[in-house]
Structure 1
Amino acid sequence: FQIVLHTILFITIGPAAVIYPLESAAVLREYRSNAYALLPYCLSKMLIEIPLLVFNTTILIAIIYWSTSQPMELYRIFWFWAICLIYGWIAQMWGLILGCFYDMATTVFLASISAIPVILFSGCLMTIDAIPALLRPLTYVSFERYAFEGYLHVLYGFGREDMECPEIFCYYKKISKYLKALQMPVIDFEYDLLGLGVWASVMTVAFYFCLKRRVNMQDKV
């Protein structure tokens, strides 16, 4: 499910990084002509982004969840979808924030390289224990870590039965063995939701203030 996370990350941050630098220039001109206030624009901009984000996320989840033979239990499907949606929203705001200050080429470049530490410290490519102790606190800053651990809770937690296996011996048939191999920290699912919620709130508010900062910078020129 690393593929799901990274797909959502780049299909949401990518369009924002490409389109918004061009859009923000038009916003500045219209704002200077008193066409609208900044706060209503930000709210409308975020509302416009929601339907496409929901549609893309739903289509992706419908394909991935079914094709990997995950439990067809409503609460698991809902929380899996919700985590993907919040994760995509964070990436969307991230792309918009970068687009407030830089041109399209610079924004695309920064969006790509800034995703590297988020992925490295998420526990996806390497387990948390494999990260040097000095750098391990940075894993709490990576919003992808909360999404990844939330996935594991939703798919393999909540008392899920052992997986089916046609072979005589399957080491990873037992859910506990699989989670132990991933070295998943023993934390509550609510903790992951809280981490994602805080990140989503911070990035949403940051988008408004970054756009406001961009407007103030242009007014001083």
Structure 2
Amino acid sequence: MPGVLKFPSEMKILRKESFNNWYKIRTYFFATMLTSLPVQIFFSIVYSTIVFTLTSQPLEYDRFMMFLAVLVLTTIVADGYGLFLGTFLNQINGTFIGAITTCYMLVFCGFLIMFSHMSELMKAFSYLSTLRYGLEALVLAMYDNGRTNMVCPEEELYCHYVKASTILKDLGMTPQNYIFNVVMLAVQFIAIKVIGFWSLKRKLRSN
């Protein structure tokens, strides 16, 4: 949401100052991107720490860093998408379109409808969702790569999800697919930033 609102609220000032050659557009764009990065990393670390503690995940450094990396990537991709919408939409339309596309991403990310329950057509559409790569990478970070069996309470006669492989199978997620998801998030991050910069530059020049 902050990304959607940022550029429209600063467009008049940005147009005036860039026209007077106070600074270049790319300087402003990269400064905007870099100043938000520490905040995104900080809150991702806080969230990861809380989640790992409350859900009794194994306290393994590699697993934690894999989990954290996905959160940071997903956050900066979402921020980049908001900035992109803000380069050519006003605050009202940007908020509306952003909410609609977020709903689409949630529906096809494998959370509301598991991949094992999707038709082939729906699976194809899921590859257009950024959250699909983020969710699968998060699940694989926790339940793939030699994850030990979950604890089954002694009072329970049967625990279906003792093995991590059972969880991945029921969710319809592909083991050893973590790197692919991270690469796709990184590609989307680069693409959305490049497109956002081009869109901002085009709008300022057209006015």
User: TM-score band, normalised by the shorter chain?
Assistant: over 0.9
Unpaired runs of at least 5, structure 2: none
Are residue 76 (structure 1) and residue 63 (structure 2) matched? yes
Shift of 1:217: 2.0
- Give me the whole-angstrom Cα distance separating, in 1, the residues matched to 2:52 and 2:199: 36
Secondary structure of 1:107's aligned partner: helix
Are residue 198 (structure 1) and residue 198 (structure 2) matched? no
The TM-score normalised by the length of structure 1 is: 0.87
Find the counterpart in structure 2 of residue 176 from structure 1. 165
- Give me the whole-angstrom Cα distance separating, in 2, the residues matched to 1:61 and 1:170: 26
Secondary structure of 2:121's aligned partner: coil
| 8 A contact 1:162–1:174 mirrored in 2 | yes
| 8 A contact 2:84–2:193 mirrored in 1 | no
Q: Deviations over 1:144-171 (max 9, x none)?
A: 1111111121100110110012123211
Find the counterpart in structure 2 of residue 189 from structure 1. 178
- Give me the whole-angstrom Cα distance separating, in 1, the residues matched to 2:123 and 2:145: 27
- Give me the whole-angstrom Cα distance separating, in 2, the residues matched to 1:121 and 1:193: 18
1:1-221 equivalences under 5 Å are 14-166=1-153, 167-186=156-175, 188-218=177-207
Unpaired runs of at least 5, structure 1: 1-13
- Give me the whole-angstrom Cα distance separating, in 2, the residues matched to 1:141 and 1:108: 20
| 8 A contact 1:163–1:174 mirrored in 2 | yes
- Give me the whole-angstrom Cα distance separating, in 2, the residues matched to 1:174 and 1:131: 23
RMSD between superposed Cα atoms in Å: 1.5
The TM-score normalised by the length of structure 2 is: 0.92
Percentage of matched positions with identical amino acids: 28
